[in-house]
Every structure is written in structure tokens, then in C-alpha cells.
């Protein structure tokens, strides 16, 4: 269980990565391609374990990417909440980076010598891009993802921060259920709301499936039970801190189901049929880190 201290007028923003999806088990570019969770990601309790670990934190609101792997994870968290359950809202703002024509295509860590990136694309080869402005045709760059992240933070977090301050209310907890790369951009966008205004860098990468990150937002000068008066043009300063990153305690006892069932698509109506038909188990990566995810957000050099 997660224990959150309750200092005055703190808004907690928890960024939660989705459970393992079927595309996570392939070495393909998986952004907006809407792959479902694997059995291991859902009924084998990655997502459910995450929901249970957060069940003693009553969220004011839960926001999720509308892509199936994230929204299904958010539903598991929502189901574990006590009554009255918080509203669960899906949004395209929280989607993963869009890979354009590379969606569903194999990724390549390095480029072939002697040919340009554009020539790679023309040949149907899609290597990892190392500059924040780069993108595949019809897709998004990291700079594009930042623009979405800014809108998401303002709409899904900051509205709750200012409302809590105006009402003099504490105990506001917001959950954003999204994707590894999107979360790695959401975090610095929120941290930059700190009074210092300094960009913290892009160091929050390599998220495990269903791992969560907690950010606290304190309105300076606020006190519980004392509503604050301010305007949109004269907002009070904030103290924003990342207190937990990539927390995955709930994965410690997780084990993939044998016979390949854990790597199958999650189907609530056929939880046992896969074991009847059997199948060979695929080699697995460390818990929470699927084979292709190992290179989603970790071990990739991105120019700052």
C-alpha cells in the first residue's frame, strides 16, 4: 500500500504507466497503434496489483490516455478505489508519442552506414531518432509531445491545484495514466511550474509497466481551511517536487503465467481458454520491463 503524508494544501499528481501490452512483447514502434494489454498486464495482475497498491489513496480524479492499454490500466485503478469512486476521464492528450508511418513496424537501434535517415524511411527502415525535433513522416517529435503534455498538465492538474487553494482544501490526489515517453515529458512540464522556473532536464525515463511517479505541488503561503483569493494574472508561487519515481513495489511478487497465457491478449471472457490450448512460453525480460520496452525510454541517447 502507498502511504501519502498529508501536508497542508498539497496536490499530489501520480503519473502511472500502463501495464504490459501485446505490442510491448514485439520489437515494434507502438505509439497510437491500439494494442490491448497482455494477460500478464491485466488479469495476471500487473494493473490490478497497481490498483490495489494505490487503493488507500482516494483520488479526486483519474485521467487516462484513451488508448486501450492505458485506459484498461486506469480502469483497474478505478475499480480498486473506495466509494464514492472518482471520475475517470479519457483524453487524447495523454497518448503516447505518435510514430506516424512507422507505427507497428520493427524498430532499429542504429542506422545503416552511408545512407541518410530519409533514405532509411524510403526503404521501410525505422531507426531510433536521437534529436528531440526529429519525427517519422506523419508522426510526432518529442517537441510535439511536450505541447500535448503542457495542455494536459494545465487541464488535468493545475485546475485542481488552483481550486484547492481557493477553497483552502487539502487531500487532493490526481492520477494520470499514460505511457512511458509521454510521462517522461509530463514530469518536467509539471516541475517547471515551480517558482524557480528552471527546466529540470529530461532524466525521468525508463519507466516499468504500471510503475508510478509522484509529484507534490504546494501553493506557497496557503493554509488548510483558509481560502486564498487570486486572479489568473496574479497566481501564487508554487513549490513542486518529484518525491517518488518509477515505484514498482507492487511488481515484486508478480510471475508470468506458464504455457504462454501471460503473453496472450487479455480477454475477460476467456481467462482460462489459453491454458487449455497450451502454447510455448516466450522468454521474458525482468518484471515490468517487456522485451521491446527495454528500449522505449531507457538506454536511448536523446539530445537535449
- Which active-site residues does the annotation give? 18, 96
144 is in an annotated binding site: no
**Strand runs labelled E in the chain:** 10-17, 61-65, 88-91, 107-108, 126-127, 172-178, 212-219, 238-247
Report d(CA 197, CA 194) in Å as an integer: 6
Q: Is 54 assigned to a binding site?
A: no
Residue whose grid cell is 487516462: 64
On whether the CB atoms of residues 88 and 75 are closer than 8 A, the answer is yes
Give exposure, 56-89, as e/b (b: 16+ Cβ within 10 Å).
ebebbbbbbbbbbbbbbbbbbbbebbeeeebebe
Q: Percentages helix, strand, coil for the chain, rounded to the nearest 5?
A: 30, 20, 50
56 is in an annotated binding site: no
Q: Is 233 annotated as a binding residue?
A: no
Do the annotations mark residue 209 as ligand-binding? no
Q: Is 19 labelled as part of a ligand binding site?
A: yes
In 99-222, alpha helices (H)? 117-122, 142-153, 159-167, 180-191
Q: Is 21 annotated as a binding residue?
A: yes
Residue numbers belonging to the annotated binding site: 17-24, 69
Residue numbers belonging to the annotated binding site for substrate: 17-24, 69
Amino acid at each position: 500500500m502507498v502511504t501519502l503524508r498529508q501536508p497542508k494544501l498539497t496536490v499530489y499528481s501520480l503519473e502511472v504507466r500502463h501495464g504490459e501490452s501485446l505490442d510491448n512483447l514485439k520489437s515494434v514502434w507502438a505509439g497510437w497503434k491500439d494494442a490491448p494489454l497482455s494477460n500478464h498486464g491485466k488479469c495476471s495482475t500487473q494493473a490490478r496489483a497497481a490498483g490495489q497498491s494505490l487503493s488507500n489513496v482516494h483520488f479526486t480524479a483519474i485521467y487516462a490516455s484513451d488508448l486501450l492499454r492505458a485506459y484498461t490500466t486506469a480502469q483497474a485503478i478505478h475499480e480498486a478505489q473506495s466509494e464514492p469512486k472518482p471520475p475517470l476521464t479519457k483524453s487524447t492528450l495523454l497518448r503516447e508519442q505518435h510514430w506516424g508511418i512507422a507505427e507497428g513496424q520493427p524498430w532499429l537501434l542504429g542506422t545503416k552506414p552511408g545512407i541518410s535517415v530519409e533514405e532509411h524511411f524510403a526503404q521501410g527502415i525505422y531507426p531510433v531518432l536521437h534529436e528531440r525535433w526529429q519525427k517519422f513522416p506523419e508522426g510526432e517529435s518529442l517537441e510535439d509531445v511536450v505541447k500535448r503534455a503542457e495542455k494536459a498538465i494545465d487541464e488535468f492538474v493545475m485546475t485542481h491545484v488552483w481550486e484547492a487553494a481557493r477553497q483552502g482544501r487539502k487531500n487532493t490526489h490526481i492520477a494520470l495514466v499514460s505511457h512511458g515517453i509521454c510521462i517522461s515529458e509530463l514530469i518536467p512540464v509539471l516541475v517547471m511550474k515551480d517558482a524557480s522556473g528552471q527546466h529540470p532536464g529530461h532524466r525521468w525515463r525508463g519507466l516499468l509497466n504500471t510503475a508510478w511517479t509522484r509529484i507534490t505541488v504546494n501553493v506557497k503561503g496557503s493554509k488548510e481551511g483558509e481560502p486564498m483569493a487570486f486572479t489568473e494574472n496574479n497566481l501564487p508561487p508554487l513549490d513542486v517536487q518529484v518525491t517518488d519515481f518509477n515505484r514498482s513495489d507492487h511488481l515484486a511478487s508478480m510471475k508470468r503465467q506458464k504455457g504462454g497465457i501471460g503473453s496472450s491478449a487479455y480477454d475477460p471472457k476467456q481467462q482460462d481458454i489459453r491454458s487449455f490450448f497450451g502454447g510455448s512460453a516466450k522468454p521474458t525480460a525482468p518484471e515490468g520491463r517487456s522485451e521491446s520496452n527495454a528500449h522505449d525510454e531507457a538506454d536511448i541517447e536523446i539530445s537535449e
